[in-house]
């Protein structure tokens, strides 16, 4: 029996072994590259889905803004959204006093505070208390004044209550001079814009 000539086959066997090693290495490299490509594709698809969702949200927000822009601008022009317009409030109570043909008034404005969370419902809603003191001839003058104030009031106003008193303690008599005094507590509400939101 003759033995194969190993010396002659040595080089082809080494080449075959090298080719097999290269093929196995190439196969492993290809699988790793395919896996990385699949991972990259998955990341790109996730990014694409997030971009589509963001675009959908932006479109919905744009539609929401377009739908309510007129209402928002009306609230801004009315003085409900934005900084407090204390001067307009003072003018409103003075003009209401004049419209009701009363005898002048004194006012006191407090600093703005955050509204109770149950009332604000996650809005930066603030409230400013105003106390009014003014003389009255008869009780119905108060109703006339409050009606005139509601007609003139810029923004959102809530009348918390009014108290009537007779400061001179004189007995009632028919007179053209006021003997009653009213003291009313009002709350003016405003929604702060983001740059001036209440803390």
DSSP-assigned letters across all residues of 51-62:
HHHHHHHHHHHH
The CA-atom distances, in angstroms, between 19 and each of 7, 12, 23, 25 are 19, 10, 6, 10
Sequence-ordered list of residues with C-beta below 8 angstroms from that of 49, at least 6 positions apart, any chain: none
CA 185, chain centre distance (Å): 27
The domain segmentation of the chain, as residue ranges, is 9-78, 86-196
Please write the tens of the pLDDT for every residue from 99-133.
Answer: 999 988 999 999 998 888 777 677 888 899 999 99
Q: Rounded CA gap, 160 and 130, in Å?
A: 10
Please write the tens of the pLDDT for every residue from 147-196.
Answer: 999 998 888 899 999 999 887 665 555 566 777 899 999 999 888 775 44
Q: Strand (E) positions, 90-179?
A: 106-109, 113-114, 125-136, 156-165
Q: Rounded CA gap, 146 and 22, in Å?
A: 95
Tokens of 52: 């589509």
Its pTM stands at 0.62
Architecture of domain 86-196: 2-Layer Sandwich (3.30)
């Amino acid at each position: 029996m003759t033995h194969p000539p190993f010396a002659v086959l040595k080089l082809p066997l080494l080449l075959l072994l090298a080719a097999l090693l290269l093929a196995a290495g190439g196969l492993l490299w290809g699988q790793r590259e395919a896996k990385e490509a699949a991972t990259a594709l998955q990341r790109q698809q996730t990014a694409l889905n997030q971009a589509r969702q963001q675009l959908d949200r932006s479109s919905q927000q744009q539609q929401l803004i377009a739908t309510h822009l007129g209402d928002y601008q009306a609230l801004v022009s009315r003085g409900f959204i934005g900084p407090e317009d204390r001067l307009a409030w003072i003018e409103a109570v003075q003009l209401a006093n004049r419209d009701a043909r009363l005898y002048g008034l004194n006012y006191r404005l407090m600093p703005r505070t955050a509204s109770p969370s149950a009332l604000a419902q996650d809005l930066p809603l603030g409230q400013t208390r105003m106390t009014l003191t003014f003389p009255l001839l008869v009780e119905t003058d108060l109703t006339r004044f409050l009606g005139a104030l509601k007609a003139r009031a810029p923004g959102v106003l809530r009348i918390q209550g009014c108290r009537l008193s007779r400061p001179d303690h004189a007995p009632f008599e028919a007179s053209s001079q006021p003997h009653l005094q009213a003291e009313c507590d009002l709350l003016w509400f405003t929604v702060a814009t983001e740059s001036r939101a209440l803390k």
